[in-house]
Amino acid sequence: MRYSDKENINILCAVLLGHGVNHVVVCPGSRNAPIVHNFNECPPMNCYPVTDERSAGFFALGMAEQLEKPVAVCVTSGTALLDLAPAVAEARHRHLPLIVISADRPMAHIGQQMGQTIDQPGALSRWTLADVNLVEPHDELTRWHCNRMANEALLAARRGGPVHINVPYDEPLFNFTVPELPNERIISRLPAHVDIDNLASHLAPAIHAERPMLVIGQMTQGCVPNEVIKNLSPCFAVLAEALGASGGGVPYDEVLPLVEANADFKPDCVIYMGGTLVSKRLKAYLRQLEGVPMIEVSEDGEIHDTFGHLSQVVTCHPTDALQALVKLVEGVKEAKPFAQRWNHALDKAKRYFDALRPDFSQMLAVKLALQSVQESELPYILHFANSQPVRLANLFSRWHVRCNRGVNGIEGTVSAAAGCAAVVGDRVLCVTGDLSFFYDQNALWNKNLGGNLRILLLNNGGGGIFAGLKGLEASPARDNMIAGGHATHAQGCCDQHGVEYRAAHGSEDLYKGISWLVQDDSDRPRLLEVVTTVERDRRVWQQAIESSTI
């Protein structure tokens, strides 16, 4: 038994078998011959040769309807793929799981007057639930991508409908030298369950694990109450950012470098829920954990293989999954040592940053602003910009933080905060860096603004976060061209749009300015501009981290 030497073909074949697909209709051709060869070599695979592709598509549909499971049809390159269009359209309207597999030439050959070449990726996308292009892998990243896309397509087919998997590869085509198929990761997806008991049964493996970790990404305010985290903490190491938890996040980004080499802190099961994570360090750490099962709670059932080791998707709202986990924890009599170790380290870090008194800097400005919000009797909604502001929020915020974190862009921070302020009676505090603010300064050119909008502008003359990117200091283009260095200030913009303005150039100005910004009443928006330098902010940040007693 020998398989093709094309790695993308072998990955696809192994993933098909892992998802229980063992019926395939094969059409003649040279470009798809390596795929057909593999299918014929696999004992579990049942192959049905059909010459006419138009007929082959409906032949596969008849099988899929009868078997009530996905069936594949494999064609060569060129217009053979288009001949499947009627069957694919029928499958979409009848919700039948048809898997179209098309062989293809490398993208570099398309449009170069090569035989049997058309632009195949997406050719049937008007009717398919998923379209993936499995290019030949050349490293671990592209191999992971190939595996993930194959899993995504097959999970989509199980929703009831056609999917298209395009497989391009170069010549030679007929090297059959691989002795066995690879042991490929198979991602499973559990359908939606509204019953908490059912959810609990699916999430029970995390409770039975010795070292379970719960990672909480961005979620809407109120989804993760403080009480829920308190109830789960005896069993789970709960790593939540300020963008997810109602009570703010924990500074785990600063704890990770101290514990990531310690096996006692390594999880043996990870549950992930919510949207984007700010922490690159946590993502990199979890990506290194080979063999650790990772479960994603996804409201829409889509695959987000953030850490590269996703094993299962549970389709439900995160609040339902949290209720199920709390119910499971109720039956646990003793706290897990793993959770205790993490909780001790996180609590120590939290106390350190709560007590920290940094020098005049962006760090001090954010800390004082959040402290003033805590002391204020007025309810506040917090909006933070991407880059350094949201990272400071994760250090100091003990409340939920909103952020345009979906794409992580710098645009729209002030506009989003202004829109929020226009429809709530609460105060809205927007904390933004200079590039984000000046990019979005037209947010102040808006007649809907009122006195409940407060803006803390952190202006250090450019994108300060670039100063921390190792290696970039060697580029003479860093400060002016890459980091957007400037000498712009906000007073003129504020005067033009009727926004009350103050500036802080030192600690005394800052203390007074924060009180004016957060505590005092006004019928107009207010903006406090904290003027620092990139060098100062970087030095204060490093001092805070290096002097940590975590």
Q: What strand order describes the sheet that includes 71-75?
A: 46-49, 23-26, 71-75, 98-104, 163-168, 130-133
Task: Determine what percent of the chain is predicted with pLDDT higher than 70.
Answer: 95
Cα separation, 529 vs 508, whole angstroms: 14
| Average pLDDT of span 97-113 | 88
- Yes or no: say if 293 and 310 are a contact pair by the CB < 8 Å rule: no
Name residues whose C-beta falls within 8 Å of residue 91's C-beta, 6 or more positions apart in sequence. 61, 64, 97, 98, 127, 161, 162
Cα separation, 182 vs 179, whole angstroms: 10
For residue 77, is pLDDT > 90? yes
pLDDT at 202: 82
pLDDT at 467: 61
The 10s digit of each residue's pLDDT in 299-346 is 888 889 999 999 999 999 999 999 999 999 987 878 999 999 999 999
- The better pLDDT of the pair 475, 275 is held by 275
Phi-psi region of 216 (alpha: psi -120 to 50; beta: other; left: phi over 0): beta
pLDDT at 410: 84
pLDDT at 406: 85
For residue 279, is pLDDT > 80? yes
Tokens representing residue 355 in the block: 């007590």
Phi/psi at 382 (5° precision)? -105, 125
pLDDT at 281: 93
* Cβ atoms within 10 Å of 189's Cβ, excluding its own: 20
Q: What strand order describes the sheet that includes 310-315?
A: 188-190, 310-315, 294-298, 269-273, 212-216, 237-240
For residue 473, is pLDDT > 90? no
With bands split at pLDDT 50, 70 and 90, how would you rate the model's confidence at 8?
very high
Cα separation, 473 vs 256, whole angstroms: 25
| Average pLDDT of span 422-430 | 95
Q: What is the mean pLDDT of the chain?
A: 92
For residue 194, is pLDDT > 90? no
The 10s digit of each residue's pLDDT in 127-153 is 999 999 999 999 999 999 999 999 999
DSSP letter at 3 equals: B
Ordered domains of the chain (ranges, CATH): 7-186 (3.40.50.970), 189-354 (3.40.50.1220), 356-546 (3.40.50.970)
With bands split at pLDDT 50, 70 and 90, how would you rate the model's confidence at 518?
very high
Cα separation, 488 vs 261, whole angstroms: 44
Cα separation, 439 vs 105, whole angstroms: 44
DSSP for 180-210 reads S-------EEEPP---HHHHHHHHHHHHHSS
The 10s digit of each residue's pLDDT in 202-260 is 888 888 899 999 999 999 888 999 899 999 999 999 999 999 998 888 889 999 999 99
For residue 465, is pLDDT > 70? no
E strand or H helix at 102:
strand 98-104
312: β partners: 188, 295
pLDDT at 449: 95
CA distances from 428 to 222, 313, 411, 518 (A): 17, 36, 18, 10
For residue 114, is pLDDT > 90? no
Tell me which of 99-103, 379-383, 473-477, 487-491 is least confident. Answer: 473-477
With bands split at pLDDT 50, 70 and 90, how would you rate the model's confidence at 454?
very high
Q: What strand order describes the sheet that includes 380-384?
A: 401-402, 380-384, 427-433, 453-459, 526-531, 500-504
Q: Which residue, chain included where needed, has tokens 């999917």?
A: 163
Helix axis angle for 388-396 and 362-375, nearest 10°, is 50
For residue 413, is pLDDT > 90? yes
Cα separation, 192 vs 206, whole angstroms: 19
DSSP E strands: which ranges in 390-488? 401-402, 427-433, 453-459
For residue 95, is pLDDT > 80? yes
Q: Taking the model in full, what pTM does it have?
A: 0.88
pLDDT at 109: 79
- The better pLDDT of the pair 258, 113 is held by 258
* Listed residue (353, 318, 349) closest to 232, CA to CA: 318
DSSP for 297-336 reads EESS-----TTS-EEEEEES-HHHHHHHHHHHHTT--S--
Judged by DSSP in three states, 132 sits in: strand
| Planar angle of CA 323, 328, 334, nearest 5 degrees | 130
- Yes or no: say if 385 and 433 are a contact pair by the CB < 8 Å rule: yes
Cα separation, 152 vs 260, whole angstroms: 31
The 10s digit of each residue's pLDDT in 502-514 is 999 999 999 999 9
